[in-house]
Amino acid sequence: MEKESKKPVTAIIVGAGHRSMIYGGYSLKHPDELKIVGVAEPDEIARNICKEKFNIPDNMCFGSAEELAEHDRLADAVINGTMDKYHVPTSVPLLKKGYDMLLEKPFACSETELELLENTVKKYRNKVMICHVLRYSVFYKKIHDIISSGKIGSIISINTIEDVSYHHYVTSYVRGKWRNSDECGTSMLLAKCCHDIDLMTWMTGVDVKPLSVSSYGSNIYYNRNNAPENSGERCMVDCPLNKTCPLSCEIIYLEIPFKWDWYVWQDMMDAPQEEKLNYLKYKSPYGRCAFKCDNNVVDHQSLIVNFSTGALGIHTLNTNTAYSKRIIRIIGTKGQIEGEFENQRIKLSVIDPTKESDHLEENFDLSDVASAFKNHGGGDVLLVSDFVKYIRGEEVSSSCTSLEDSLSGHRVIFAADKSMKLGGAAVNII
């Protein structure tokens, strides 16, 4: 007799944004593993797009997470892709209903929210996995495997750098949704670098705890003091520099469309060009001068973490760079690892005094493997695959980002932002 196949994990998308739609898309290629059966989304356009994409019946379409929570549990799990400040408020009522959850990062915007989520999950025994997707990329997974093999010995220091390109920073953190921490609920470090800090705490090992953090940072460039002379308030309305300024909304979003269509034209993807132009010109937040917005998040920040083993973790966030890049360098007692995420190349150097060069070198080029995937170096697909296994109670990979495994990274960030406000004073991590 053939073994009975397992039923797919059923899930409801809460917040039909860019990320949750990508994760939900896994179900279209793997219907035997995941099935999207519902959506809870306040925006009617986004809700209908999700409904059509996953063929969701009318009675499983809800106007909000709160409306969904009024019903008994209707699926195995929830894919929560709401905006950062809504993660905990939308998650807790659904966790109390018994849903397991795939929760987008950052999973909490404060220590208070972190504790509320942690205590809720402990009480109701939910399975919650956090979307720290870079753990699943072939690049960072390889580095983690090398560390686990013991080839570089015990970790002495981890240095990570994230460069955020000028057009990415201006789109998301000057003009866009994450520009103002009072509105979005997250700091720049939490919104953009929680991947990097999570990787740092993951690489050091589950038994190694961060003890304290010191951090400096500020916004020194994107403010009115640095606005070009004679610049206007809106690029296409009153600015004589519109055709030449590299930050011009017309250049970035109309003439040279990078990868920001989803953010800038989310509700107007199929609108006529003239309609888009008028919207960008007069109404869109993306049409404002980049130096005259209401942004209050940092444009650079550095932090140093003291771990329980004596190892140090150092992270530097740079913005306004020519292009985006992530770099990692790990020094151990027996060797070191260096790598750049964008080119998918890793160099392993192991100390060997018998060699003329004093070390053995091994190079890994993962670009061919990573190019087979579209997003995050293969991380998106592998994360959802692991989530299905996690919910089913099957063996998961070493990259598994359960809530418990993700707490340290967020605590480091909360302490770092507190330290920055205190002028760099060390802040202990509880």
Pick from 169-178, 316-325, 364-373: least confident: 364-373
Instruction: Tell me if 304 sits within 8 A of 213, measured CB to CB.
Output: yes
- Tell me, what's the pLDDT at 308? 97
The percent of residues in the chain predicted with pLDDT above 90, rounded, is 86
Predicted confidence band of residue 375 (pLDDT cuts 50, 70, 90): low
- Three-state SS at 235: helix
Pick from 124-128, 195-199, 200-204, 397-401: least confident: 397-401
Residue 75 has pLDDT above 60, yes or no: yes
- Tell me, what's the pLDDT at 265? 85
For residue 384, give both structure tokens.
Answer: 């959802």
Predicted confidence band of residue 377 (pLDDT cuts 50, 70, 90): low
- Mean pLDDT for 232-243 is 96
* Burial class of residue 277 in the structure, from the number of CB atoms within 10 Å of its CB (0-12 exposed, 13-18 middle, 19+ buried): middle
Helices (H), 367-423: 367-371, 379-392, 403-421
pTM for this model (two decimals): 0.92
Predicted confidence band of residue 2 (pLDDT cuts 50, 70, 90): very low
Residue 185 has pLDDT above 60, yes or no: yes
For residues 2 and 53, give the distance between their C-alpha atoms in angstroms, rounded to a whole number: 33
Strand ranges of the sheet holding 128-130, from the earlier edge strand across to the other edge: 61-62, 34-40, 9-14, 77-80, 100-103, 128-130
93 prior amide bond cis, ω within 30: no
- Mean pLDDT for 304-317 is 98
For residue 397, give both structure tokens.
Answer: 């990979």
Average predicted confidence (pLDDT) for the chain: 93
Give me the helix-helix angle, 87-96 and 111-124, nearest 10°: 10
Of 220, 222, 218, nearest to 424 by C-alpha is: 218
DSSP secondary structure code for residue 285 in this structure: G
DSSP secondary structure code for residue 296 in this structure: -
Residue 273 has pLDDT above 60, yes or no: yes
Residue 197 has pLDDT above 50, yes or no: yes
For residue 51, give both structure tokens.
Answer: 């409904």
Beta carbons within 10 angstroms of residue 246's beta carbon: 12
Predicted confidence band of residue 69 (pLDDT cuts 50, 70, 90): very high
- Tell me, what's the pLDDT at 248? 95
Of 23, 182, 179, 191, nearest to 106 by C-alpha is: 191
- Three-state SS at 146: helix
DSSP secondary structure code for residue 303 in this structure: E
DSSP element (H, E) containing 423? none
For residues 426 and 411, give the distance between their C-alpha atoms in angstroms, rounded to a whole number: 14
Question: What radius of gyration, in Å, describes the C-alpha atoms of the chain?
Answer: 23
- Mean pLDDT for 214-238 is 96
Instruction: Tell me if 139 sits within 8 A of 294, measured CB to CB.
Output: no
- Number of DSSP helices (H) and strands (E) in the chain, helices first: 17, 15
Name the amino acid, one letter, at 361: E
Predicted confidence band of residue 255 (pLDDT cuts 50, 70, 90): confident
Residue 376 has pLDDT above 70, yes or no: no
Predicted confidence band of residue 262 (pLDDT cuts 50, 70, 90): confident
What residues pair up with 316 in beta bridges, in sequence order? 161, 302
Of 45, 34, 42, 43, nearest to 12 by C-alpha is: 34
- Mean pLDDT for 110-129 is 97
For residues 261 and 254, give the distance between their C-alpha atoms in angstroms, rounded to a whole number: 10
For residues 347 and 333, give the distance between their C-alpha atoms in angstroms, rounded to a whole number: 16
Transcribe 212-227 into DSSP letters.
Answer: EEEEEEE--SSSGGGP
- Tell me, what's the pLDDT at 4? 46
For residues 136 and 129, give the distance between their C-alpha atoms in angstroms, rounded to a whole number: 13
For residues 224 and 413, give the distance between their C-alpha atoms in angstroms, rounded to a whole number: 28
